[in-house]
Structure 1
């Protein structure tokens, strides 16, 4: 995805339990199903969603650093939307996730990078579980 790219949000699925989260699988995984309590190893890129449903400014990417990111699923180590989304993925899967503020950084934002009440877009690739 690139900055300025339009998102056809109507083609995204809604999370069954958390209807504010929308996602689209871009690569279907055929590995193990993630579960809370496991450690997920991912690559990701995050963007802001602009006001016209286009990809906004990129704010972070593990791929740019050429370093995977690991976190415990369900341990509140990451934003709520990540815990929910990654727990629904299989190893090998890549999905684009749209997280409204209540599943991201909410009214507080995150420093000077993510403004308050920002909707975020993440492309997440689940590489492995342990």
Structure 2
């Protein structure tokens, strides 16, 4: 009888300790973004959006965005979060995607370009957003392969499916 009581008292402690060990062994080396686009990049992107009558909200970082669906829940993504998203990325001046995922893929937010680090936390799971990203918060002066030339303004339409 004493063994059963002792087991009932010790088992929850062991479970809590095991949970704490696994969560405390997880480390995240990413920091919240601090980069800000230059005034020239911001003005150029804003002029394009205005001249094409694109609805947007300006972010202090220099990205522009339009939230289509806010999403719901209490979980807000941070740079250490794993986010599952559907997305389509294109250059500002074309409608042809350079990358897309229509089934859902998972990334750690801290591994992504600065524009995503600023934009994704603006919505909750189930939400969708369009990000207009100036070059310095995208792929910058180096671009990315042949699909994204240096100093490109980018547009990403993103649906946030899940945050872990």
After the TM superposition, which residues 1-130 of structure 1 pair with which residues of structure 2 at under 5 Å, given as runs? 7-9=52-54, 11-15=55-59, 17-18=60-61, 20-31=62-73, 32-50=75-93, 55-63=94-102, 66=103, 68-73=104-109, 75=110, 77-130=111-164
Counterpart for residue 46 of structure 2: none
Q: Which runs of 4+ in 1 moved over 6 A?
A: none
For residues 28-80 of structure 1, the C-alpha deviation after alignment (integer angstroms, 9 at most, x for no partner) is 21122222321111110011111xxxx432111101xx3x221112x2x1111
Q: Distance in 2 between matches of 1:81 and 1:128?
A: 19
Q: Which has the higher contact order (CA 8 A, sep 6+)?
A: 1
TM normalised by structure 2 equals 0.64
Over aligned residues, Cα RMSD in angstroms? 1.6
The alignment of Structure 1 onto Structure 2 pairs a total of residues equal to 113
Which blocks of at least 5 consecutive residues in structure 2 are unaligned?
1-50
Which blocks of at least 5 consecutive residues in structure 1 are unaligned?
1-5
Larger Rg: 2
